[in-house]
Amino acid sequence: MNSFKIAVLAGDGIGPEVMVEAVKVLRQAGRKFDFSLELTEAPVGWAGFDAAGKALPDATLDLCRKSDAILFGSVGLPDRDPTVPKEQRPERAALLRIRKEFGLYANLRPVKLPKALAHACPLAADRQGDGIDILVLRELTGGIYFGQPKKTEDLGGGNQRATDTLVYTTGEIERIAHVGFKAARLRRKKLTSIDKANVLENGILWREVVTRVGREYPDVALEHMFVDNGAMQLMLRPTQFDVLLCENMFGDILSDEAAALAGSLGMLPSASLGATRQEKTFGFYEPAGGSAPDIAGKNIANPIAQILSTALMLRYSFGLQAAADGIEKAVSKAIEAGCRTGDIYNPRETGARKMGTREMGDAIVAAL
Ligand code: IPM
Ligand code: MG
């Protein structure tokens, strides 16, 4: 029987409560599909501060290094931000640090609007076509998030200057483009590359490199789109998109926009992958939404993004296709049976039942 080591980092806000549901589902999948998991929990984010005085405690980072994958909840509590310098805050010191440390350059955010949730999509039914199914592929370790210099200088007289640097190399663009074309091959064979080539040097290079890589994938239709137009097209005609290839910040923005089309950010899982070594792909799996402190601890958060993230982990890091499909089908079944957390509930919908985080988790375990 296969056995996998997973670092479970629930973090802050709704992280812990949605993680409980994801672990329940994962254990059930293990029983059903006959694999075993060694799950080890460790603190991260403000929970890391409370346990060990920093957002990414050494012991937590150590555990990550010894694991086959990281299952992550969410970090960040804006109320506590003023208590530490910005470099030490969880977003930078834990999340961005882990992305960089483990070279997790490819971030996959599959956006899918289930038919049963058509009402939760902000677009009119005629714009939803046969359903929305987009893979947002976001470059995750480059661009303006990490470029140097990154600083705020005092110019005197109350005047400050903030600098962030947008920088990409050919190699960084090539490797994410390959991931994009390969992903498109397994889907509807269309790749839309997002850039701002009409203004940015980075956009020009991005377009050139993606075009060149695309020649190796003649079976995939490649199109280029400026990011502002892309944002608009997502609202007007989202069904035109298959894979959306984005640099770091454009991907951050467009993936939230796309998530809204799928009914709720609470439905969007993500996988962050690095290089494959000895046929193993180390991965980091997290819901794309944040810690949502306003609804934390109330048993109302939607656990589906966290649960679907476990499915991505089984698929991409462990090669357990059947188990991954099983979890995704169980989620669909629960939704089709009318299970709804508040974010996807519409009182006018017949047969829908509003339920809490735990009840949704139970329903998905039962469906599995
Ligand atoms: C995301 C988040 C993060 C990002 C934040 C929390 C730093 O918005 O994963 O999309 O900007 O990458
Ligand atoms: Mg984001």
Residue 286 CA, closest ligand 1 atom number? 9
Annotated catalytic residue 228: yes
Among residues 228, 280, 298, 329, which one is catalytic?
Answer: 228
Give me the mean pLDDT over the 271-280 stretch.
85
Give me the pLDDT at residue 129, please: 87
Among residues 81, 164, 256, 362, which one is catalytic?
Answer: 256
Cβ-contact 222, 193 below 8 angstroms:
yes
Task: State the ligand closest to the CA atom of 253.
Answer: 2
Instruction: Please state, for a pLDDT cut of 70, what percent of the chain lies above it.
Output: 100
Give me the pLDDT at residue 130, please: 84
As residues whose CB is below 5 A from the ion ligand 2, the structure lists 252
Segment 65-76, tens digit of pLDDT: 999 999 999 999
Give me the pLDDT at residue 116, please: 87
CA of 140 to the centre of ligand 1 (A): 10
- State CA 272 to chain mean position distance: 7
For 91, the token pair is 């977003």
- Going by alpha carbons, the residue nearest to atom 5 of ligand 1 is 91
Give me the mean pLDDT over the 183-188 stretch.
96
- Going by alpha carbons, the residue nearest to atom 12 of ligand 1 is 252
For 117, the token pair is 């949730």
| Ligand 1 touching residue 75 (CB < 6 A) | no
Segment 14-43, tens digit of pLDDT: 999 999 999 999 999 999 999 999 999 999
CA of 142 to the centre of ligand 1 (A): 13
Annotated catalytic residue 196: yes
Task: State the ligand closest to the CA atom of 146.
Answer: 1
CA of 110 to the centre of ligand 2 (A): 14
The pLDDT of residue 289 is above 90:
no
For the entire predicted model, the pTM comes to 0.95
At 342, give phi and psi (nearest 5°): -55, -35
CA of 348 to the centre of ligand 1 (A): 34
- State CA 159 to chain mean position distance: 37
Give me the mean pLDDT over the 92-97 stretch.
96
Give me the pLDDT at residue 343, please: 93
Among residues 133, 195, 252, 343, which one is catalytic?
Answer: 252
Give me the pLDDT at residue 1, please: 59
Give me the mean pLDDT over the 248-276 stretch.
93
**In the chain, what are the domains?**
1-108+268-368 (3.40.718.10), 122-262 (3.40.718.10)
Among residues 24, 54, 133, 145, which one is catalytic?
Answer: 145
According to the 3-state scheme, what is the secondary structure of the chain? CCEEEEEEEEECCCHHHHHHHHHHHHHHHHHHHCCEEEEEECCCCHHHHHHHCCCCCHHHHHHHHCCCEEEEEECCCHHHHHHCCHHHCHHHHHHHHHHHHCCCCEEEEEEECCHHHHHHCCCCHHHHCCCCEEEEEEECCCHHHCEEEEEEEEEECCEEEEEEECCCCHHHHHHHHHHHHHHHHCCCCEEEEEECCCCCHHHHHHHHHHHHHHCCCCCCEEEEEEHHHHHHHHHHCHHHCCEEEECHHHHHHHHHHHHHHCCCHHHCEEEEEEEEECCEEEEEEEECCCCCHHHCCCCCCCCHHHHHHHHHHHHHCCCCHHHHHHHHHHHHHHHHCCEECHHHCCCCCCCCEECCHHHHHHHHHHHC
Query: What is the band of 264 on the pLDDT scale with cuts at 50, 70, 90?
Result: confident
Annotated catalytic residue 252: yes
Residue 256 CA, closest ligand 1 atom number? 10
Annotated catalytic residue 256: yes
Segment 104-146, tens digit of pLDDT: 999 999 999 988 898 889 999 999 988 899 999 999 999 999 9
CA of 252 to the centre of ligand 2 (A): 4
Residue 248 CA, closest ligand 1 atom number? 12
**Residue recorded with tokens 């695309």:** 214
Mean pLDDT score of the chain, rounded to an integer? Answer: 96
For 288, the token pair is 């794309």
The pLDDT of residue 338 is above 90:
yes
The pLDDT of residue 323 is above 80:
yes
Instruction: Please state, for a pLDDT cut of 90, what percent of the chain lies above it.
Output: 90
